[in-house]
Structure 1
Amino acid sequence: MSDLSGRQAIITGGLSGIGLAIATALTSAGASVAVGSRSARGNDDPRHAGQLDQLRAAGQKVHAGPLDVTDQRSIDAFVATAQEALGAIDILVNAAGMTREQPVCGHSDALWHDILDTNLTGAFRMTRALLPSMIENRHGRIINIGSTAATVGWADNPAYCASKAGLLGLTRCVALEGAAHGVNCVMVSPTWVETELMRRDVEEIVHAEGKGRSVQQAIADIADENPQKRIIQPQEIADLVAFLCSDASRGLTMENIQVTGGALW
């Protein structure tokens, strides 16, 4: 198991799906965590009591608060309160993300900007906020949650694919800027992962098909198309991220690690 004792992490999108699994893995490994989410109100938010109890079970410091990665003022406020609660942040996991199907022909500017602002520019803003202190302290880990969409196209998802391809470029640039200062930057790119976001995506696909296929059947078909005949679980992503945040991963930077079970998409 990775040892992250004495480390402080920020996880965007940290109260659901992959982000929550990562936050749980990091606390279990000994890190203190600050989880940000658009829906969060604070450390005593009753709507997220279950998630916060889950994070606190490991006995580490946990801070939760509102975070909109498309709003610089929200980022500044969250980073300041996280640093006050935990201390200097040396791990950043950019897990906040969104997607919505819309073909290139007829794609709205508003949706394009929303997706890129969340998935790509949001990660840039968070990195810009935290990289200077990591460089000064000569230690840092920045993990960007990407997708196979960074390297494989997906019809009707131009903004999502563009945002993840851009995130890969950002990852490589940050890795180069941080390399001489003990700061690693890696992108983890899964295929389909069994989360509520996946279910919503599949619901949208099924609705667009109009063929009467059920969501359950569509999910079963996705699993059957995977060479391992299954769907990747959030815990698999979380365990990998915990390793990438540990001292054992010192030589791993500028990589795009795909977690696919052998699938291209």
Structure 2
Amino acid sequence: MTTPTTTPRTVLITGGNRGIGFSLAEEFIAQGYRVAVTARSGEGPAGALTVRADVTDSASIDAAFTEVEAALGPVEVVVANAGMTRDMLLLRMSEDDFTDVIDTNLTGAFRVVKRASKGMLKARFGRVILISSVVGLYGSAGQVNYSASKAGLVGLARSITRELGARGITANVVAPGFIETEMTAELPDALQAEYKKSIPAGRFASPTEVARVVAWLASDDAGYISGAVIPVDGGLGMGH
């Protein structure tokens, strides 16, 4: 793989203590970035600065950014990765089940990007990368709340692109499909095999495969890409 053209920059990844977020941090560290992760608990990988933050709380986000800026300099790349699920059928889903997921996955991304944009506007440079999901546009039974929150990120990125694109700021969405994580590993083998039948690639992705796409979007090579939705789903969501 050709190493993308990168300028060492400061990157902040929300929810970087596990899963895809942890792999994102590892990849950015490997490529020479100054990396910070937010976490409500736990730690990011070795070499990353871990700061405490809750994306549903603007004050905690502001404090986290202030801590990162003091230690690593202005945040030039922000990856909104923190998310949650609360899956259930529509008729059983309470209003809180819906709004809590929206508040974390969509409004949380808004809070993070709003705080990050201050420094980006001043520097006239920024990379905003929002981690969505194949189900954001594909849909998924039992995930009305999650799908809606992940679809909303597309509108967020495209509006940011139109509003801030002339200031050297890009905003893009990465939409992973099934990824090899602790969560998918716990699925019964028969169910995993059933899911893989629906994926043209016939397998789940490794977290590193997602991380490299995100790191490429942050690189100098991707400076003219904005408002895009890049699927990393093995072909599952084609046309959606």
TM-score normalised by the shorter chain: which range applies? over 0.9
Cα shift readout 1:70-123 (whole Å, capped 9, x = no counterpart) = 111211111110111100110000011111211111211111111101110000
- Structure-1 separation of matches of 2:60 and 2:182: 25
Q: Which amino acid aligns with 2:181?
A: T
| 1:102 alignment partner in structure 2 | 88
Give the aligned partner of residue 229 of structure 2: 256
Larger Rg: 1
Q: Which residue of 2 aligns with 1:89?
A: 75
Give the share of equivalent positions with the same residue, in percent.
36
The 8 Å contact of residues 4 and 26 in structure 1, kept in 2 or not, is answered as no
Partner of 1:20: 22
Alignment of 1:76-155 (within 5 A): 76-155=62-141
1:231 aligns with 2:217: no
**d(CA) in 2 for partners of 1:25 and 1:151?**
27
- Identify the match of residue 170 of structure 1 among 156, 175, 179: 156
Residue 194 of structure 2 corresponds to residue 221 of structure 1: yes
Letter in 1 for 2:13: I
Q: Which amino acid aligns with 2:94?
A: S
For the 8 Å contact 1:7–1:32, the answer to whether it is kept is yes
Unaligned runs of 5+ in 1: 41-47, 57-61, 203-214
Q: Secondary structure at the match of 1:151?
A: helix
TM-score for the superposition, normalised by structure 2: 0.93
Residue 178 of structure 2 corresponds to residue 192 of structure 1: yes
TM-score (norm 1): 0.85
The residue aligned with 1:66 is 52
1:52 corresponds to 2:45: yes
Change (3 A) 1:177 1:121: same
> Which segment drifts farther, 255-264 or 136-145?
255-264
**After the TM superposition, which segments of 4 or more aligned residues of structure 1 sit over 3 Å from their partners?**
197-200
Structure 2 unaligned segments of length 5 or more: list them: none
Number of residues of Structure 1 aligned to a counterpart in Structure 2: 236
AA aligned opposite 2:198: E
CA distance change for structure 1 residues 165 and 11 in 2, over 3 Å: closer, same or farther?
same
